[in-house]
Structure 1
Amino acid sequence: MIRFIFLVLIYCFVLSACTTAPKGPENAVNLTVQLEKVAQVQQWEMRGKIAFRQGKDAASLNLVWKNDSGDFDFRLTNFLGVSLVNLDVSQHQSILKADGETYVDALPEPLIYQITGMIIPVDSLLSWVKGLPLKGDKFTLTEKGLVDTLESYCQGCRNWQVAYGNYGSVELDDGTSVWLPHSITLTQKEIPDMPKTQLKIKIYQWTL
């Protein structure tokens, strides 16, 4: 099976870079209002770092992820800013470029599995990264009322657990703000014939 080039990189950075983590809300938030606002956020860009670990393979790279109502561009670069992996997804097709090769499929999940061996529920992830549980997901709350952990339920994306940290206030177009996570850990529990998979995302900037 072909592997992403970044799964064998040795020179990767750790996620604990020199940025100040947001402190989160001082008072408890209204969960209903919070989740309604998060659900309305359909156009966003996040910048940060992402660390992958699958079995004994591990890597950490810079991340730029732009989303527009489900169409998105997911780009991983090294410390020089050179693009190593680019996944461009639209309603019509998904194009993944890595290690000088280009792969095309109707959906992003088969491409990611073909290249990495990881089963990533992309549609669910677009909500999870914002701290938004999906219907049927089991979740817990922080003492301030924000989503702290969740366990996936949807068909095809079970066995995933998500943990959040360092929520920050991000301004919306209407002048109000919404709390978005700046630290996310996604763990896929071990399943037969597949090593444990973990993704850690450290977000330095949200742009809505």
Structure 2
Amino acid sequence: MNKKIILFLMACLLAGCTQTPKSTPSNVSWQTHLQQLNTLDTWSFRGKVAVITPEDRHSLNIYWQQLDDEFHITLTTFIGGTVLELNKTKQFTEIIDSKGKHYYGEDTESLIKDLSGLVIPVQALQQWIKGNPANASYLLNSNNQVLSLSGFDYKNIPWEITYSDYMPTENVYLPKKVGLKQQDIRLKFAISEWEIDPR
């Protein structure tokens, strides 16, 4: 192999290949894009999520499948071990931990907080993760996509969300990198794949 290529690959590895390719600019209006997001209620994505608190940091693989108001989330380690499964139906929320123990509750976010101590805005995230600024103030980028938003979860806790990249999925642009912040809690999503209507 050419020595220059080897040096380039080593430099990439040492630098973490931090350069992020930017998405192709969208040529649709904000009104059209927002309408696409509002009608998109069946989808899934795969990627990674980092949960960062003053005490700890966890990085996990995430799979999220949404069907209208119901959803299924799986968190796994980088070697494939299941850390948590979350199933939300119209009737209740079920969480299965890494030991296979089942927990049930009517309120998804309260159940997560009781088990982990973390406040995660799962209800609002069903829209925010798509780049839909539902019930939030927002700024757009030059491609008519949400650049940042300030919103509240259903318990009136404020969150700041930033979007640093988007990717085309069929006929709609969806986020690739999303960051959430609430006081000293941060969530970072790096989404590798979206699928629309994955039934």
TM-score band by shorter chain is 0.7 to 0.9
1:143-184: per-residue Cα shift (whole Å, max 9, x none)?
Answer: 22210000004552432000002111111xxxxx01100100
Q: Check the 8 A contact 1:46/1:205 in 2, yes or no.
A: yes
Matched AA of 1:111: L
Residue equivalent to 1:6: none
> Structure 2: which 5+ residue stretches go unaligned?
1-14
* Structure-to-structure mapping, 1:2-151, within 5 angstroms: 23-26=22-25, 28-100=27-99, 101-135=101-135, 137-151=136-150
Matched AA of 1:198: R
The alignment partner of 1:152 has SS state of: strand
Q: Check the 8 A contact 2:121/2:153 in 1, yes or no.
A: no
Match of 1:186 among 160, 173, 180: 180
Q: Percent identity?
A: 28
Q: Distance in 1 between matches of 2:153 and 2:109?
A: 15
| Shift, 1:20, TM fit | 9.2
Q: Computing the radius of gyration over CA atoms, which structure comes out larger, 1 or 2?
A: 2
| Shift, 1:187, TM fit | 0.4
Are 2:160 and 1:161 equivalent residues in the alignment? yes
| Shift, 1:19, TM fit | 11
Q: Check the 8 A contact 1:52/1:59 in 2, yes or no.
A: yes
Matched AA of 1:152: G
More helix as a share of residues: 2
Q: Check the 8 A contact 2:147/2:164 in 1, yes or no.
A: yes
Residue equivalent to 1:5: none
Q: Is the alpha carbon distance of 1:170 and 1:72 closer, same or farther for their aligned partners in structure 2, counting shifts above 3 Å? A: same
The alignment partner of 1:156 has SS state of: coil
Q: Check the 8 A contact 1:138/1:153 in 2, yes or no.
A: no
Residue equivalent to 1:199: 187
Matched AA of 1:206: W
TM-score scaled by length of structure 1: 0.80
Q: Distance in 2 between matches of 1:64 and 1:145?
A: 27
Matched AA of 1:113: K
Q: Which runs of 4+ in 1 moved over 6 A?
A: 16-20
Q: Distance in 2 between matches of 1:143 and 1:46?
A: 25
Q: Check the 8 A contact 2:29/2:144 in 1, yes or no.
A: yes
TM-score scaled by length of structure 2: 0.84
Q: Check the 8 A contact 1:141/1:149 in 2, yes or no.
A: yes
Paired residues, number:
181
Q: Check the 8 A contact 1:22/1:168 in 2, yes or no.
A: no
1:78-135: per-residue Cα shift (whole Å, max 9, x none)?
Answer: 1221211111110011111113122110121111101121222222110000000113
